Chains A and B, each alone.
Chain A
Amino acid sequence: MGRFLSLPSPPVTPASLTQSNRRLLRNIESKPVPSSSPHQRHGARRSSLHHRLVVASRALAAILGGYGLATAFTVALGRLLDLPRDEALNTSAMPAFLLYVAAAVWAFSASTATKAWLGIGLPACALALLAWWLRSAPAT
């Protein structure tokens, strides 16, 4: 996974530019121009497939990873707060939704898909561990 991992951004070039011009531009810019236009989809079928897989991977990171993160956060915070169930759920779910949105945005703004997964997966695992560690906290 390398430079293809970046996301489609709006077409910075007029669509009339030839493909070689696009390549040139891609080299000039630090961020590669994505292969989202119909030209390139047909021109470079393999990279197009790769690109789609990367997008799918990021989407999964956003939807599933973000969901896992939100759930882990809710449970961890809910157990930390030491409140009755409904109160704990209500209190900790509210920031969790914001975290979910942030995770989705992160999944598509990280420079590579691997980073997108790590940025969501690591905190989710840490929170899950915290939640697991708090599971046997004695009832007060």
Chain B
Amino acid sequence: MTWLHTWSGLTLGWVLYAIFVTGTAAYFRPEITRWMQPESSGVVTPVDAARFGLTHLHEIAPDSKRWLLILPEERSRGLTVYWQQPEKNRGRFQSKDLDPSGGTATPRATLGGEFFYRFHFQLMLPNPWGRYIACLAAMFMLVALVSGIVTHRRFFKDLFLLRLGRNGRRPWLDFHNVSAVLALPFYLMMAYSALVIFTPLVLPWAAKLLTPAKVAPVALTAAVSPSATPQPPVPIDAAWITPDTFERMLAHVEKTWGDHRSVRRIDVVNRGTPEATATFTRASGSTVSILDRDTIKFSGLTGLPLEEVIPTRGFGAHSRGFFYGFHLAHFAGPVLRWLFFLLGMMGAAMVGTGLVLWTLKRKDRLIQSGRGGRFGYGLVSRLNIATITGLPIAGAVFLWANRVIPVAQVERAETEVTCFLIAWAVMALHACVRPAKQAWTEQFIAAAFAFGVLPLLDLLTAGRQFETWPRADGLYVGFTATLLLLGGLFGYGARKLAVRPAGAAETKGADA
């Protein structure tokens, strides 16, 4: 079992670490976006924002078949419009961030918190592959957790066993155990719900084999029959959904949902065809499940709500909705969200210390035997440095790039991502060319600097656009405090590393 724990944890350990770090950051996806777009602070109601966004889409994408609007809500102030390009451009989606208050200062182009969110499950790989690897990592993590539980029978005793004073690998092992035991239900839930979210992706053959199951032929003919009766010709303008029609829908939505938890998302499909519809989705409420979201679907021709056949949702759908919602944690209020954030950081620390433990154990053996297994040891210890400290540094550089790159730069959002990748590559290279201990220390110092100085940079650049600074709110304070805390943690680690004798400690597990 120990063997299984070691290898299921190690094989995709670095991927798991990256998933933990970016996923933890993604709990504050809207907040990160807001920090990265200091220009957009105009507060408007979602319905007004929708009006503005729709008018804008009429101007910039009049002949697109599909529009999607993500409207501002309590946590995110921004308005993002998406539109699908024509078939000849492979139907790709384009997007644009707008200042919903209609101000002149368009928010700077950035992926914002979306970058971390996407990285969390797509790993910056072409579409299905990142998700496949993320699912595989989730399965490996489940196996590592279960085999880890079996290995540690002295479960509750370990909880109170933190021998920090001792040298060698003892403190590492203790920290690994404590961080694992404390938040075990959280890790189990996260790994399991990840698989549940991607069920059709994980079990495609099962999905395929179950498809013909009991689809009654009656349903098929019912779906086909409307086309048999000739439809009245539709005026071409109406099919593209006129602003007046949208106005009717918005009025209906405003009346039905009111101000609290208003519309969050508008999905316009099949524009220019008789099947044109617009689906309005309400902001998520306080329930865990994602199924409890309200939607209203309108006919694009008349602007009247359509009678929707609500599918009967059974045990499976409700359970999946619960796991899905739990994983995303949209239901969580500020306190619970911070708790999830801390648990996520502990998860990263658990994976990080686990990875370091592998090298510490091997090191003892290598010293005693003097031969064999050096390549594997070298590879793992370099990868550890490149990931455990390299990734947080790259993340900080991503934030730096957001403040340093000129606002008007072409392909600005892409340039930020390029900076992230270059920083990570440089850190990986650095980890390979320097002796391990120096590489650790230097990268801890670099991380401490990258996070610790960011608030200063923010202050300077905010000074440049001084009009945004007085609007600094709790978000800025919280964000700055978090950056300083991360910088402090890395600085503490760097100091620990610097004072210890070379053989005593190899690393300090990163908490970012």
Chain A interface (Cβ < 8 Å from any Cβ of B): 7-10, 15-16, 34, 36-39, 41-42, 62, 70-71, 74-75, 78-79, 82-94, 96-98, 100-101, 104-105, 108-109, 131, 139-140
Contact = CB atoms under 8 A, between A and B. Distances in A.
B365 interface: yes
B31 to A, nearest CB: 32
Interface in B306-361: 311, 313-317, 319-320
Contacts of A104: 4, 8, 139, 143
6 contacts: A38-B371, A38-B372, A42-B371, A74-B206, A92-B316, A101-B142
Contacts of B364: 15
A101 B143 contact: yes
Contacts of B215: 84-85, 139
A15 B199 contact: no
A70 B203 contact: yes
Contacts of A131: 209
A88 B210 contact: yes
B209 A75 contact: yes
B211 to A, nearest CB: 6
A97 B192 contact: yes
Given A71-B206, A87-B314, A101-B143, A8 B366 contact: no
Contacts of B200: 89
Contacts of A34: 3
Contact of B213 (A10, A85, A93): A85
B211 A85 contact: yes
Nearest to B147: A105
Contacts of B314: 83, 87, 91
B127 interface: no
Nearest to A131: B209
A34 B210 CA distance: 43
A140 B200 CA distance: 25
B1 interface: yes
Please name the 8 residue pairs, one residue from A and one from B, whose CB atoms are nearest each other, closest first: A90-B316, A91-B316, A38-B372, A74-B206, A108-B4, A8-B3, A38-B369, A10-B2
A36 B211 CA distance: 46
Contacts of A84: 213-215, 311
A86 B3 CA distance: 38
Given A71-B206, A96-B203, A101-B143, A90 B214 contact: no
Contacts of A37: 365, 369
A109 B206 contact: no
B202 A93 contact: yes
B365 A89 contact: no
Contact of B146 (A83, A90, A105): A105
Binding site secondary structure of chain A: helix
A98 B205 CA distance: 18
Interface in B263-299: none
B195 interface: yes
Interface of B: 1-4, 8, 139, 142-143, 146-147, 150, 192, 195-196, 199-200, 202-203, 205-207, 209-211, 213-217, 311, 313-317, 319-320, 364-366, 368-369, 371-373
Given A38-B372, A94-B320, A89 B139 contact: no
A21 to B, nearest CB: 14
Contacts of B192: 97-98
A91 B175 CA distance: 37
B368 A15 contact: yes
Contacts of A75: 205-206, 209-210
Contacts of B207: 85, 89
B216 A139 contact: yes
A71 B202 CA distance: 9
Nearest to B209: A75
Contact of B369 (A15, A71, A140): A15
Nearest to B219: A84
A23 B307 CA distance: 76
A97 B209 contact: no
Given A92-B206, A93-B199, A104-B143, 18 more contacts: A7-B3, A9-B2, A15-B368, A38-B366, A38-B369, A38-B371, A62-B143, A70-B203, A74-B210, A75-B205, A86-B317, A88-B213, A89-B199, A90-B196, A93-B203, A97-B142, A97-B192, A104-B139
B90 to A, nearest CB: 28
Nearest to B323: A94
A90 B319 contact: yes
Contacts of B147: 105, 108
B206 A93 contact: yes
Contacts of B1: 9, 105, 108-109
A130 to B, nearest CB: 12
Contacts of B372: 38, 41-42
B320 A140 contact: no
A120 to B, nearest CB: 14
Contact of B196 (A9, A78, A93, A101): A93
Contacts of A38: 365-366, 369, 371-373
B195 A97 contact: yes
A74 B209 CA distance: 10
Contacts of B217: 139
Contacts of A93: 196, 199, 202-203, 206
Contacts of A16: 368
A137 to B, nearest CB: 8
Nearest to B142: A101
Nearest to B2: A10
A75 B316 CA distance: 14
A37 B358 CA distance: 14
Among B202, B215, B316, residue most surrounded by chain A Cβ atoms (within 10 Å)? B316
